[in-house]
Amino acid sequence: MTINQNKAGNMLTLAIEGRIDTQTAPELEKVLDGTLDGITELVFDFTGVSYISSAGLRVLLKTQKQMNKQGSMTVIHANEDIMEIFEVTGFTDILNIK
Amino acid sequence: MKELVIEAVSNNLDTVLAFVDEQLEEMECPPKNQMQIELAVEEIFVNIANYAYLSETGDVTVRMETDTERQTVTITFIDRGVPYDPLSKEDPDVTLLSEQREIGGLGIFLVKKTMDDVRYSHQDGMNILTICTTFALQEGQN
């Protein structure tokens, strides 16, 4: 998994490529822990995400809870298979997905 | 039928997935089914790695049976850890809003949702969890 960060003022876009799984989710969590201060608009670009497991969902939910307090969070360009995982877990209702 | 016996530690996940993928590729498993099977294998293996042996370590046997003609995959996980039936755990409420949702607890739920059949038994001191999926059946459901 690689994470490309693009910060513009209070907006942060994280373009993720690869798999968000048990082994890579902690890395994403670490990046988020260090970068969300002062961010009011967070965008996850999932164009390059091929796989997500519960470990990745856990990080998304934790981050959504934090962003509820300080701004907005959006997930963009998730592929069909990832969308299906979001649907069965009810994440389509709790995340802002575009 | 092929078997992999491996120490139940999450760092071994890649080895387990490589073992599973090799056989899925042999039977030309569709990418979507492959992703779902990988997901189920990750959730179950990591669960065993995290909880089965508490502070000690132990092995898990991953037994894989494939039927190319019927497009069926059956994977059985066997460990000698603490008796635990993951299917006995109540499903998370996936209709709750983010503030009410608990972080975690989605792993086994995802396994149940993506596989056609999931069974648990405890026999002779072993936890035996079996998942089964059929490609054609899943395609038909979509």
Q: Where are the domains of chain B?
A: 2-141
- Over pLDDT 70: what percentage of chain A? 100
Asked if A85 is an interface residue toward chain B (Cβ–Cβ < 8 A), one would say yes
Residue among B70, B54, B86 at smallest CA distance from B132: B70
Q: Count residue pairs from A and B with Cβ separation < 8 A.
A: 63
Q: Among the CATH numbers 3.40.50.1970, 3.30.565.10, 1.10.40.50, 3.40.1390.10, which is that of B2-141?
A: 3.30.565.10
Asked if B100 is an interface residue toward chain A (Cβ–Cβ < 8 A), one would say no
Residue B139 distance to chain A (closest CA, Å): 13
State how far Cα B42 lies from the chain centre. Answer: 6
CB contact under 8 A, A81 and B32: yes
Mean pLDDT of B10-23: 96
pLDDT > 60? residue B97: yes
Please state, in angstroms and rounded to a whole number, the distance separating the CA atoms of residues B12 and B41. 12
What residue spans define the domains of chain A? 2-97
Residue A89 distance to chain B (closest CA, Å): 6
State how far Cα B19 lies from the chain centre. Answer: 13
pLDDT tens by residue, A20-50: 999 999 999 999 998 999 999 999 999 999 9
The CATH architecture that domain A2-97 belongs to is 2-Layer Sandwich (3.30)
What ipTM does the predicted assembly reach?
Answer: 0.91
Q: What is the pTM of this model?
A: 0.92
pLDDT score of B140? 46
